[in-house]
Amino acid sequence: MAFGELYSALETRTVDGQENPYTVILSNKFYEVQKYVSATKHTFTLNIILASKAFWDKLSPTEQRLMHEAYEESRGYQKEQTRLQTEKALAELQAKGMQYNAIAPEETDRMRKTVQPVVDKISANLRPDTVKVFNDEVERIRKDVK
């Protein structure tokens, strides 16, 4: 479904739910046509910086170093700002009448177990070292969040 059709699809009950960051739910006024918002914590989206290889290769080693340093310096600030915007948007959604549902850790575990066969199927088509790096990073982040 095209994103532009989502509001009317929720309104007409063509779909009964959607998944988006709280800030997107707020800015698109989905609270007008959706009663509940749940904290699944299945994703945390950071803004990333991308550059083509052609662009990057045109930079001098000093410029590349400065770009790396600027990213390292701003990464924590950006992460904190994202968290603050998320908290503010959730509070606004609740103020506009959305019912907030926290997800119990047991339910999160149940959902993870349910989707594990899909994860395994996808992982089987990837390089094992890539899967290991990804899984190790997910575990590190989960420990940081708790």
Q: How many domains does the chain contain in total?
A: 2
Whether residue 75 is found in the same domain as residue 109: no
Q: How far apart are CA 34 and CA 13, in angstroms?
A: 10
Whether residue 119 is found in the same domain as residue 90: no
Whether residue 112 is found in the same domain as residue 97: no
pLDDT in tens, 96-144: 999 999 999 899 899 999 999 999 999 999 999 999 999 998 888 888 7
Q: Give the domain range for residue 112.
A: 105-145
pLDDT in tens, 22-54: 999 999 999 999 999 998 877 777 777 889 999
Query: 83 Cβ partners below 8 Å, 6+ apart?
Result: none
The rounded percent of the chain whose pLDDT value lies above 90 is 76
pLDDT in tens, 14-29: 999 999 999 999 999 9
